[in-house]
Chain A
C-alpha cells in the first residue's frame, strides 16, 4: 500500500529546524511516512516484545498460560526477531559538505545527517544492527555495529557533533570501514562523491557479494548542479587553495553538461559493482531517499 506522504513534514526547510535527531526521525518516519516500512519482525527470537490475541490454529507454545490463568483469556507472546542484519551508515563530513547555497535551506551535511538519522531510526525499529562511520581526511566517528536503543542514541549523539571540515579522503576511510564490516548487511554512503569516481568502484567491490547491499546517496546543493547566480564570481575551492574568477552565466551550459556527465559516469561505475546510486539535492524533501532505502531493505 502506498503511504500517504506529508510533503511539508518531509521538507528540509522545516526539518532542519529540529535540532534533536531522535525527534526528527520520529517525525519523519512515524509522522510523515506512516506505514512505509515493515513493522518490527516478530517471531521466535529471544527478546520478548509484546502480547497479542491468540489466533486459533497457532502453535500453543505461544500461549502465555500465566496470563490465561489470571485473565481467562488466551494471549500469545511475541518476540523480537534477531535479524542478524547490519546497516552501516557512512557519512562524508569533508569541508565541501558544509556548502549551503542561497537556494538551499540547509547545508549538504545537515541534509545528509537528517537522512542518516531517519535511516538509523528505521533500522532500529526493524531490529537491525546499526553502525555509523563518519570521515573526512581522517576517521571522525566510528560506532561499531550493534543493536538496541542505546546504539541509536549513540548514533544521534554522533550526528549532532559533526562539523564539515577537512579534505575528503574516500580511499583511506572506506578501506578502514570495509575491513570492519560484519558478515551480512547494508552499507549506505552519504557523500557528494566529488573527485571519487575513479576509486569508488574499486572500493565498493564488496557489494558484489550476495551478503552485502550498498546504497550510494549523493548529496548535492542546487548550486553545484547549475552554478550559483551572479555576473562575476571569484570561486575559491573549499578543500584547496585554488581560485578561479569567472562569469557563471558564461559557463553555465558547459558546467551543467560536465556535471551531468560526472553524475552519469559515477552512476555507471557504481552500478558496475552491483551498488545502487541516487543523486539528491538539498532542496528536495527526504521522502524519496527514504523510500529508496526501505525498498532496498525490504528485499532482504
Chain B
C-alpha cells in the first residue's frame, strides 16, 4: 500500500481550493490580435470576470489532479510491502553487534541503538546473540541465549570510555556463529564514527554472513555530518608567577557556524572562574584562568550548556607541579681541585638549563649516591661521572652505570688523571669501544690551543650552532685532550664534535632504551679547556646529552587515555574513565581520546564495501528492523512523471487559441 515519508506535506493539499477559485475568479486571458497599427491603442486594465460556478470543468479537474499529484510528490510516497510473517527457523542465527565507543554517547546514539536492538529482538526469528564492543569486545552473549536475558543486557548498556576499534568486533565475528547455522545474519548498530571505523575491514561475504549496517546518532539529513558539538581539546596548568597557576584550555567548534559558549573552572566543588568565548566555525580558541597555587590539587574545566556530545565538555587537570628532573655526580672519594671546579661548572650549567616553571632541574646528590650504592629504585635523570678512574673500577660501578643507561638514563663521563686508564675501563666495561692513542697538548703548556673543527652539515650540532653562537664555539680553546681511535664495535658511536684535525672531542653512544652515554676526552675545567666559560657551553652540553626524555620542552604529569596502562614500581595503573588519579608517586590525568570528538561518520555504503557488501548477495534484504528502510519502494519518480505528463496536457489544453493567427496569413488580392 502507498504510504508517505513526509505526511505533513499532505497539508499542502488544503490549497486544492486555489485552482477552483482561479476558475471562478480569474483575469480574462487576452488573445493575441494582429492589428494594422497600435498607434492609438493604449494599455488599460483588463477587467476581471467572476462566475458562480467554475468554467472549463474538464480543465479544472485536470488541474486539481495535477495539484494532487504534486502534493503527493512532496509527501515522499512509497510502496510498503506487507510485513512477512516471522517464521521460526532453527538454523538461522542472528547476532546484534552494538558499538559502545564513547562517540555513541553523543547525538542520542546509544539510546537509539537500544531501541533498534530491542526492535530486532522482537522482529527477528532464529537464535539471537549479542556482541558489544569498544576498543575491545566488551561483552559477548552467545547465540541462543534466551531473549529476556538479552533484553535486560541491552537495556543496561552504557557507553565505554576507551577509543573505539571496530576491527576487534569484525575479527570476533566468525566465532560468534555456530557451524550448524544455515543462515548467519549480522546487524551492526553504530554511529560509524570515522576514527573508530576508518581501518575496519573484513570480507563478510567469504564468511557467509549477511549483514546490515544500522546507523544511529545521525541527527542531520546530511550524510556523515553531525553538528552542534564543542570540545575541550586541551587543558594545561602551568606556573604563572609567584604563587599563581595559570590554567589554559583550548576549545574547538566542530560546526561550520560560529558558536559562543561559557567555560567554567571548578575546583573544590566551587566555581572559581568563568569565561565566555566565541569559537569560529571549525576552529579553536584558547582561554585561561589564573588562580592561587596550593589551594587545590586539581580542577575541572567544563563547558556550560548542553551540546550533542557531552563527554568532551569536561576535563580534569592536576594543579600540582610535576617533580623536577634530578641530576647528580659520581666522583672519586678523594676530590681534587680540578674535579671540584669541573663539578661546579657542570652543576651550574645543568641547574640553569631549566626554566622558572615546572620544567626544572634539581641537584639531587642523594639519589645519585643511592644509585651508586645499588638502589635502582631511585630515579636520576642525568648522571655525571667526573674523573673516571680506578675508583670506578674498584667500586664496580660499571654494572650500575650500564643498568642506568639501559633504563633510559643519560650519563656524562669525563676522564681521570690517567686518560689511558679511563679509556681502558670504559672499554673493559663494554661502554665505549675506543682505544687510547695519546694525550694531545699535555707536554707543552705554551703551545697554541686546539680548536674545534667546523661542524659537518649533517651534524645535529650544526643546526644549533649557527652565526654568533658558532663563532663562540669555534673560538673555544682546548689545551689538552685525549686522542682516541675507534676500535672494534665502535660503529654505533657517534662523534658529533672533532678538532680541526678530525680527532674526536665528544663521543656519544645511544642505547635502545633512549639512554645516552657521552664521553668527553677532556675535563670540564680551565686547565683542560675554556669551554665552560663560554656561552656556547650550556647549549653544547644539553645537545650532547639530550635524549627523548630530557628533550621535552615542558614537564607534566602523565596523561593517559582510557584503556592505556602505566607501569609503576609496585603495580600497573589501568586508565578507565577520564579524571585525575594518583598512582604511587605519579599524578595521572586520564582524558577521553580526542579522536572520539570527531563528529564525522562514514556512510553505510562506504562501509558496506569495506565489509564485502558490494559482492553478490551480501547486502541483504534483512528485514529485522521496521519496514521504513527495507520495504520501502520509492514512488516519487512515478508521481513526478505523472505530474509532468499532466502539466504538459494542461499547457497544451490551456494555450491560447489560434484564431488571430489566421488573420496574418498573406491575403491574396
Partner-B contacts on A (CB < 8 A): 93, 95-100, 107-110, 112-113, 159-160, 162-165, 192, 194-195, 221, 223-224, 228, 230-240, 242-247, 250-251, 254-255, 258-259, 262
Contact = CB atoms under 8 A, between A and B. Distances in A.
B561 to A, nearest CB: 76
Interface stretch (B27-35, B367-375, B467-475): B27-35
Given A98-B664, A98-B667, A245 B37 contact: no
A110 B669 CA distance: 5
Given A110-B667, A162-B669, A238 B35 contact: yes
Interface stretch (B42-50, B290-298, B573-581): B42-50
A113 B669 contact: yes
B669 A233 contact: no
Contacts of A195: 37, 39
B145 interface: no
A189 B29 CA distance: 40
Contact of A230 (B33, B34, B40, B41): B33
Contacts of B669: 93, 107, 109-110, 112-113, 159-160, 162-164
Given A163-B669, A233-B31, A96 B37 contact: yes
B667 A107 contact: yes
With most chain B CB atoms within 10 A of its CB, the pick from A112, A159, A234, A254 is A234
Contact of B36 (A99, A233, A245): A99
B33 A192 contact: no
Nearest to B656: A234
Report, nearest first, the 6 A-B pairs whose CB atoms are least far apart.
Answer: A96-B36, A234-B30, A258-B40, A113-B669, A98-B667, A250-B44
B668 interface: yes
A251 B42 contact: yes
A160 B669 CA distance: 6
Contacts of A236: 32-35, 660
A194 B39 contact: yes
A194 B37 contact: yes
Interface string B628-669: 000000000000000000000000000000001001101111
B222 interface: no
B38 interface: yes
Given A96-B36, A236-B34, A239-B36, A163 B666 contact: yes
A234 B43 CA distance: 9
A232 B41 contact: no
A251 B41 CA distance: 8
A110 B32 CA distance: 24
A96 to B, nearest CB: 4
A246 B32 contact: no
Contacts of A244: 38, 41-43
Interface of B: 28-47, 49, 660, 663-664, 666-669
Contacts of B41: 235, 244, 246, 251, 255
Contacts of B32: 234, 236, 243
Q: Is the interface of B mostly helix, strand, loop or mixed?
A: loop
Contacts of B666: 98, 163-165
8 contacts: A96-B37, A99-B35, A195-B39, A235-B38, A237-B37, A245-B43, A246-B43, A254-B42
Given A110-B667, A163-B668, A234 B31 contact: yes
A259 B35 contact: no
A237 B38 contact: yes
Contacts of B28: 231-232
A56 B114 CA distance: 140
Given A98-B664, A98-B667, A232 B36 contact: no
A97 B669 CA distance: 10
A109 B40 contact: no
B38 A242 contact: yes
Contacts of A162: 668-669
Contacts of B37: 96, 194-195, 224, 237-239
Given A246-B41, A251-B42, A233 B30 contact: yes
A194 B41 CA distance: 13
Nearest to B29: A232
A109 B38 contact: no
B33 A100 contact: no
Contacts, number: 124
Contacts of B47: 231-232, 247, 250
Contacts of B30: 232-234, 245
B36 A100 contact: no
A195 B38 CA distance: 11
A245 B38 contact: no
A113 B40 CA distance: 27
A100 B46 contact: no
B615 to A, nearest CB: 64
A99 B663 contact: yes
Nearest to B668: A163
A228 B33 contact: yes
B655 to A, nearest CB: 14
Contacts of A98: 663-664, 666-667
B29 to A, nearest CB: 8
B35 A235 contact: yes
Contacts of B35: 99, 223-224, 228, 235-238
B38 A100 contact: no
A164 B33 contact: no
Contacts of A230: 31, 33
A258 B37 CA distance: 13
A30 to B, nearest CB: 22
B33 A163 contact: no
Contacts of B46: 232, 245-247
A192 B36 contact: yes
Contacts of A113: 669
B36 A109 contact: no
A251 B35 CA distance: 15
A112 B669 CA distance: 9
Given A236-B34, A244-B41, A255-B42, 6 more contacts: A107-B667, A110-B669, A163-B666, A228-B33, A236-B33, A247-B44
Contact of A238 (B31, B34, B45): B34
Contacts of A245: 30, 43, 46
Contacts of B44: 246-247, 250-251
A230 to B, nearest CB: 7
Nearest to B42: A251
A112 B667 CA distance: 12
A223 B37 CA distance: 11
A194 B663 CA distance: 19
Contact of A233 (B33, B45, B664): B33
Contacts of A165: 666
A259 B39 CA distance: 9
A163 B667 CA distance: 6
B667 A164 contact: yes
A263 to B, nearest CB: 11
A245 to B, nearest CB: 5
Nearest to B37: A194
A243 B30 CA distance: 11
Given A244-B43, A258-B40, A235 B33 contact: yes
A96 B664 CA distance: 9
Nearest to A227: B41
Given A236-B32, A238-B35, A255 B664 contact: no
A242 B36 CA distance: 11
A10 B667 CA distance: 21
Contacts of A107: 667, 669
Contacts of B660: 236
Given A98-B666, A99-B663, A100-B667, A246 B31 contact: no
A248 to B, nearest CB: 9
Contacts of B33: 228, 230, 233-236
Nearest to A113: B669
B276 to A, nearest CB: 62
A188 B304 CA distance: 99
A254 B43 CA distance: 12
